[in-house]
């Protein structure tokens, strides 16, 4: 089924790929709050070819976790081919294969991978053609607007479309901007005007108003929600309520936050076991309690927490402590 059909919504909201963050528990809780699509963490084609234990962990999914995108990173044709072979053998199904031409991390982009490929559109097109040919599921690419300027953003996007992909994800910043600075709505809008395939926009989708602004100013076909969802799965419901009914929902009460945290933590234990479940949840506790006055002692306690029972207690302490917001 094409990517567009699977989106199945007037305002598709997709949980973005985030390395070190987009694990199964986070994807499940985001879906429960309204994300229609989610991504696994980015996987390097080389590690997929060798299928390390860590890679198998990254690929962990379940039947609730659909539709689901896998994202590959590479610049080498051979590794791309063998990674695809491995993915095809993998027992769980995924629904979209995305190729990363957006990662700005220096050690990746400087060796010509991720955003480094924006400087070689011909090479990007060649790699995408291989993926389109070998992939059993629809293929997409995630790009930025360019290396240090947006002059060739439209041409890069056209080049990707010519390779036969199904959709394009556009982070509306350049590689040099990293994750800071203004998102260029106009440049995303220009790409949308030139392309026939769905254009999904990314960048500063931090609340419902920003989401509306992105749809209005770019004409995009959907949104990738990234940092806005950290400790804030309500963002999906909030964006929907605002776009569909024009309602700005109130921020969740402390009890609702504690309920979501508990659910997320239970999923973390189920997925990673007691020890790693606790360790991997710590950063989410910090994100869930962002902006809460007087939270510091509890956060410090979380960082020392090593057992499931202790984490449950810190979540309950949050629920019942008189904390100002």
Ligand X SMILES: Cc1cc2nc3c(=O)[nH]c(=O)nc-3n(C[C@H](O)[C@H](O)[C@H](O)COP(=O)(O)O)c2cc1C
198 binds ligand X (CB under 6 A): no
- Candidates 142, 175, 192, 308: give the one binding ligand X (CB under 6 A): 142
204 binds ligand X (CB under 6 A): yes
Q: Which stretch binds ligand X (CB under 6 A): 5-13, 89-97, 214-222, 224-232?
A: 224-232
| Residues taking part in catalysis | 103
18 binds ligand X (CB under 6 A): yes
Residue 290, class by beta-carbon neighbours within 10 Å (0-12 exposed, 13-18 middle, 19+ buried)? exposed
Q: Are 149 and 115 in contact (CB under 8 A)?
A: no
176 binds ligand X (CB under 6 A): no
Residues 38-77, mask of contacts with ligand X (x by CB under 6 A) = ---xx----------------------------x------
Site size for ligand X (CB under 6 A): 22
Taken as a whole, the chain contains a residue count of: 325
Distance CA 313, CA 297 (A): 14
Distance CA 43, CA 34 (A): 25
CA distances to 189, 230, 261, 324 from 298, in Å: 44, 18, 14, 14
Tokens of 74: 């590479």
202 binds ligand X (CB under 6 A): yes
279 binds ligand X (CB under 6 A): no
Q: Which stretch binds ligand X (CB under 6 A): 197-205, 212-220, 234-242, 300-308?
A: 197-205
233 binds ligand X (CB under 6 A): no
203 binds ligand X (CB under 6 A): yes
Q: Are 284 and 258 in contact (CB under 8 A)?
A: no
258 binds ligand X (CB under 6 A): no
Beta strands in 216-299, from DSSP E residues, in sequence order: 222-225
Q: How many CA atoms lie within 13 A of 308 on its CB side?
A: 13
- Candidates 7, 14, 21, 115: give the one binding ligand X (CB under 6 A): 21
Distance CA 14, CA 6 (A): 12
Q: Which stretch binds ligand X (CB under 6 A): 10-18, 88-96, 211-219, 243-251?
A: 10-18
Residues near ligand X, by CB under 6 A: 16-19, 21, 41-42, 71, 100, 102-103, 142, 171, 179, 202-205, 224, 226-228
């Amino acid at each position: 089924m094409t990517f567009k059909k699977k989106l199945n919504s007037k305002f598709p909201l997709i949980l973005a790929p985030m390395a070190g963050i987009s694990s199964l528990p986070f994807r499940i809780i985001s879906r429960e709050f309204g994300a229609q699509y989610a991504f696994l963490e980015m996987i390097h084609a080389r590690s997929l070819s060798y299928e390390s234990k860590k890679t198998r962990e990254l690929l962990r999914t379940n039947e609730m976790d659909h539709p689901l995108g896998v994202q590959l990173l590479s610049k080498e044709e051979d590794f791309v081919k063998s990674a695809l072979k491995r993915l095809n053998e993998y027992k769980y199904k995924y629904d979209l294969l995305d190729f990363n031409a957006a990662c700005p991390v220096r050690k990746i982009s400087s060796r010509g991978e991720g955003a480094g490929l924006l400087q070689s559109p011909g090479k990007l097109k060649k790699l995408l053609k291989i993926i389109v040919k070998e992939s059993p599921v629809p293929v997409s690419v995630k790009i930025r607007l360019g290396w240090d300027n947006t002059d060739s953003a439209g041409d890069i996007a056209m080049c990707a479309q010519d390779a036969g992909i199904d959709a394009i994800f556009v982070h509306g910043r350049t590689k040099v901007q990293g994750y800071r600075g203004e998102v260029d709505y106009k440049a995303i809008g220009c790409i949308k005007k030139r392309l026939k395939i769905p254009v999904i926009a990314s960048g500063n989708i931090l609340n419902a108003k920003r989401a509306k602004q992105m749809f209005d100013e770019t004409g995009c076909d959907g949104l990738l929600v990234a940092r806005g969802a950290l400790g804030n799965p309500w963002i999906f419901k909030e964006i929907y309520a605002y776009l569909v009914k024009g309602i700005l929902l109130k921020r969740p009460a402390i009890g609702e936050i504690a309920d979501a945290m508990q659910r997320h933590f239970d999923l973390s234990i189920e997925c990673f076991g007691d020890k790693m479940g606790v360790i991997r949840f710590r950063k989410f506790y910090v994100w869930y309690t962002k902006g809460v006055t007087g939270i510091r002692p509890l956060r410090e306690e979380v960082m020392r927490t090593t057992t499931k029972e202790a984490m449950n207690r810190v979540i309950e302490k949050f629920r019942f402590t008189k904390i100002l917001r």
